[in-house]
Amino acid sequence: MKLNKKKLIIIFSIAILIVPDIIINFKKDIIIFSLIIISKICLLIFFSLILQKLTKSYFISYITLGFLYLSSSLIETINTCILNNYITLDNIKALFYTSKSEINEFYNQFYLYFLIPIFIFISFLFILKKIKIYNYNKNNHIIIYSIVSLFISISISTYLVFNSPQIFSGTNIIKYTFKKYYVKQHPFNIFYRAYELIISRSKFNKYKLQKDSFKFNVLNKTDSLDRPDIVILIIGERIRYSNWSINDYKKKTSPNLESIENIISFKNHYSNGNSTAGSIPYLITQATPQKPILAYSQKTIVSLFKEAGYKTTWISSQNIFDYIENKTEPDKVFELYNKKHTDLDILPVFDSIIKTKNKKFIVINMIGGHGSIPKSFNKFKPNSLLKKYPLSFKNKSIFINDYDNMIFLQDYVLSKIIKSTKHENLSSIILFTADHGCNLFENENLFGYGSSNPTEKETHIPLFIWGSDKFIKNNSKYSNLIKHQNLLTTNDNVFYTLADLADIKYTSYLNNQSISDSLYKEPSTRFVYINGTYKEYNNNNNNNNNNNNNNKTK
């Protein structure tokens, strides 16, 4: 084929419009990479030919095609650079509902990636200008060419599905191929996710009445002797299990918690999601990845404690209320996220509440891995406290030091909360866990969380439970916790465990779901909610990072 100027422009325009596909598949095996790219090019040619036939103009067909591809490309490019996957509903929610500090973090670290979409856009305008001079030549075989292109694209996608574990999982292969390789990829994915967002909004509206009138029907409202005076749920942000020295991490990241008595650290605890939006609903409601509707139709753990006669307070260091729309449930809410702050600012607020005289249920959601680190927690060096480094594998040790300093701060704040609670000398219980974990460049240079195939590091999170001496004394629930600390547990258990520890009996309580119940039943698999569906993980394969081969997708 002789390359003239016009052909070069066509090749360049194709390359420009499929940039996200090139980035996302770049690290794959060369044959797979080539097949995917050929499939993408064929799909593009198919659309392009059809449009040319209809409009009889290169210029108009390129504008139309450009609108479809470009609006997707600009967003998908950034998402694929950061998370190595096409944008998901949770990624969009995080973008819309995220706190200001999260956005800043995003822009500070990833400003370079914004240059790629700008480059794509300028190139698009350049091609548009060039194409204007070409006249459309009538070609009788255009329909045949377009059908052949589409056929090649579909054949390759089907071939790829037939070489994946999906073929053995009983999935409807045609439907699966269509969804995975077309609907959930560039250029359609972004429109599909927008549609999903509208559906999710309408779900909140649909179940609003049901939720407003929802009651847990607490059976023992009058104070029982076993009921603790203070119950605290602390939710960490982007906190993984393995970077705490209390969990045998080699660096001394949690010296304070290590010196406190009565703390149980659970070894095999997992989140039910790998993003904030995909995890918080399953942590604070009775919803599970298999029954997500309960997050819309029922109230949260706050209302359970309210029904049981507790005064409820929520200290919010990060705005997570929008994920579950429960800001009106607590008796009092402290919104620390409205101004510049760190997790240290939780402490004075907490100390003012803990002294009040009544039975208390306090939820604290920390900003954790999205917050900034005060200078006094600059323990592990070198780090990016004074100088910003680009996020790359080369700077791995810098980002790990940043992460460890953040854990060091969490350790300090948690230990202060425990000490203030201990000082009250009442029957008290504190539970700490996180919304999800985080990759720190251990798996294919992956950093962060929210990937479409969650790694072990994205979901293995800490679960610490502390009880005061008064609570522990003669309490079989605390000894059950110790007995169960090595078993597989998930954030699905948090709701039932807190209810059980507070001796709250209500109609939908499940004793085999509470870790403090003698009847706790260790599950053989765990579930991770992901984009409206869930993945099932076999407990034996938890440490295998290549989840492709050992999980099932619904």
What the block records as the tokens of 120 is: 């794509």
Ranges within 235-254 binding Zn ion (CB under 5 A): 237
393 exposed, middle or buried (CB, 10 Å; 0-12, 13-18, 19+)?
exposed
Cβ-based nearer residue to Zn ion, 181 or 270: 270
From 127-135, 168-176, 273-281, 409-417, span contacting Zn ion (CB under 5 A): 273-281
342-401 positions binding Zn ion, by CB under 5 A: none
Q: 220: helix, coil or strand?
A: coil
Q: Work out how close the CB of 277 gets to Zn ion at its nearest, in angstroms, rounded to a whole number.
A: 8
> By C-beta, is 276 or 493 nearer to Zn ion?
276
What distance in Å separates the CA atoms of residue 42 and residue 155, rounded to the nearest whole number? 11
Separation of alpha carbons 366 and 351, rounded Å: 16
Number of residues that bind Zn ion (CB under 5 A): 3
CB of 267 to Zn ion, least distance (A): 22
Measured from the CB of residue 233, what is the shortest distance to Zn ion in angstroms? 16
By C-beta, is 246 or 438 nearer to Zn ion? 438
Residue 279 CB, nearest distance to Zn ion (Å)? 7
Minimum distance from residue 235 beta carbon to Zn ion (Å)? 9
Residues within window 420-459 making contact with Zn ion, judged by CB under 5 A: 435
- For the bound state, the minimum distance from the C-beta of residue 238 to Zn ion, rounded and expressed in Å, comes to 5
Using CB atoms within 10 Å of the CB of residue 163, give its burial: 0 to 12 exposed, 13 to 18 middle, 19+ buried: exposed
Ordered DSSP codes for 108-142: HHHGGGGHHHHHHHHHHHHHHHHHTTPPPPP-TTH
Name which of 237 and 329 has its Cβ closer to Zn ion. Answer: 237
Stretch that binds Zn ion, among 29-37, 135-143, 233-241, 309-317 (CB under 5 A): 233-241
Which C-beta is closer to Zn ion: that of 292 or that of 437?
437
- Using the contact rule CB under 5 A, the part of the chain among 219-227, 270-278, 410-418, 503-511 near Zn ion is 270-278
Q: How far is the CB of 99 from Zn ion (least distance, A)?
A: 11
Half-sphere exposure (Cβ direction) of 259: Cα atoms closer than 13 Å: 10
Q: Which ranges constitute the DSSP H helices of 355-491? A: 396-423, 456-459, 469-472, 476-483
- Strand pairing class (533-538; 551-553): antiparallel
Nearer to Zn ion, 283 or 417 (CB): 283
Least distance between Zn ion and beta carbon 395 (Å): 22
Tell me whether residue 310 or residue 529 sits nearer to Zn ion (CB atom).
529
Instruction: Tell me how far, at minimum, the Cβ of 290 lies from Zn ion, in Å.
Output: 21
Stretch that binds Zn ion, among 54-62, 207-215, 234-242, 467-475 (CB under 5 A): 234-242
Closest CA to 346 of 322, 376, 368, 369: 368
Cβ-closest position to Zn ion: 276
| Cis upstream peptide for 330 (omega within 30°) | no
What is the side-by-side strand order in the sheet with 311-316? 263-265, 463-467, 428-434, 230-236, 360-365, 311-316, 332-335
Decide: helix, strand or coil at residue 88.
coil
Identify the residue among 98, 276, 298, 410 touching Zn ion (CB under 5 A).
276
Radius of gyration of the chain (CA): 26
Q: Which residue lies nearer to Zn ion by CB, 124 or 323? A: 323
> Of 247 and 276, which has the nearer Cβ to Zn ion?
276
Cis before 523? omega within 30: no
Contacts to Zn ion by CB under 5 A = 237, 276, 435
